[in-house]
Amino acid sequence: MISKQVRILNPVDGILKLEDFEIVEVEIPELQSGEFLIENSYCSTDPYIRTTMGSNDTSDPFNTLPNQPIQGDAVGTVIESKNSKFPIGTKLIHRHGWRTHTVLNDLEDNTAYTKIIPDNHKMLDYLSIYGLVGITAYYSLTKVLNPNPGDVVVIDGATGGVGQMFVQMAAAKGITVHGVTSTDEKVDYINSIGGVGVLVTTPGGIAKINKVYNATFPNGIDYYHSNVCSERMIIALLKLNPQSHLILCGAMKSYMKPAFKVLGPNISSIVHKDAHIHGCSWRFTIDEWKQEFYDFVEENYEKLTPRYQVYEGIESMPQQYLDQFFVYDEDSNKKFGRSITQL
């Protein structure tokens, strides 16, 4: 049996190009004791994966070494097994995506959210609500920021995988989130999932952003969640209230640049406002609150309605991954939600 895999050829600093990827076919070896073979159905193509591609750092299990299959969330079904814990037919969420098939054993399971998918659950929910983006949104909302109803909470990238979950989880807790976005379609979507869409179009640059923020947040911002680290966040630094909180959950604007000053010239505002800056890596503490997260999702499942942008075929993955960064047109502006590929 053959597994098709997408690989990154060499460490690349800065802009990725199509020729930096290759699609290879690999013969799947005979299973050894304890191993099982997964046929993947869907995998994610999240922008953050860029930060793990082509690294030579072997100390971080999330990294993809050169000439190895790219790591990413995937859901699939066990089709062959020599492990009684994972019989044929078992459905799983795991991090060995960007390939049609993968061989695992339970001893290699070093990702905190790898999980057997119950028969009564939808497989795709584990690429959203129950998976990486759901966990990240919950961690950011409840373990880092922890706002109260009435606080001014703002997020950029509100229509992406993490952003949409953050808005909906906050709404389930009675907290209104302002989602800053670039099109009327996205504003309507944010409004439909319990947030307040804030339109900031590209023409006008920083002056336009500043004008919109002054009108929308006259009393300042208490909590700012950044998935993009764009000019919108740089201007938001000036609107932060004293002892406010800023979480850097993603930095899409910097992923294709060898050097990017994320906080920009307004960093002094953090000093003067005694603001708090947070990262967003839940893997160090998830064991302490993982069951709490799953309980919250079960209780609020009907309120969480993920949106996907689905592409077809492993051969399409390199180009559609790059398109997320470089293609901005009327059609692409209507494509949002968590980006996944059906294999």
Please give, one letter per residue, the 3-state secondary structure of 194-227: CCEEEECCCCCHHHHHHHHHHHHCCCCEEEEEEC
C-beta separation of 315 from 342 below 8 A: no
Listed in sequence order, the residues at least 6 apart from 335 whose beta carbon sits closer than 8 Å to its beta carbon are 309
DSSP state of 160: S
The pLDDT value recorded for residue 259 is 45
Non-local CB neighbours of 50 within 8 Å, separated by 6+ positions? 16, 255, 256
CB atoms within 10 A of CB 85: 11
318-329 confidence digits (pLDDT tens): 998 888 877 654
* CA–CA dist 136, 73 (Å, integer): 13
Measured between alpha carbons, how far is 114 from 96 in angstroms, rounded to an integer? 10
In the chain, alpha helices (H)? 132-138, 161-172, 184-192, 205-216, 231-239, 268-272, 286-299, 317-326
pLDDT tens for each residue of 80-136: 999 999 999 999 999 888 999 999 887 555 555 578 899 889 999 999 999 989 999
In this structure, the number of other CB atoms found within 10 A of the CB of residue 257 comes to 12
- The pLDDT tens digits of the residues spanning 290-342 come to 999 999 999 999 999 999 989 999 999 999 888 887 765 455 556 788 889 99
Identify the architecture of domain 2-128+306-342 in CATH: Alpha-Beta Complex (3.90)
Contact 75, 134 (CB under 8 A): no
pLDDT single digits (tens) 216-250: 999 999 999 998 877 888 888 899 999 999 998 88
CATH number for the domain running over 132-282: 3.40.50.720
Task: Identify the pLDDT of residue 53.
Answer: 78
Tens digits of residue pLDDT in 123-162: 999 999 999 899 999 999 999 999 999 999 999 989 999 9
Q: Beta 153-156 vs 221-226: how paired, if at all?
A: parallel
Residue 46 has pLDDT above 80, yes or no: yes
Q: In terms of DSSP bridges, do strands 35-44 and 338-342 run parallel, antiparallel, or are they unpaired?
A: antiparallel
The residue extents of the domains of the chain are 2-128+306-342, 132-282
Q: Mean pLDDT for the chain?
A: 87
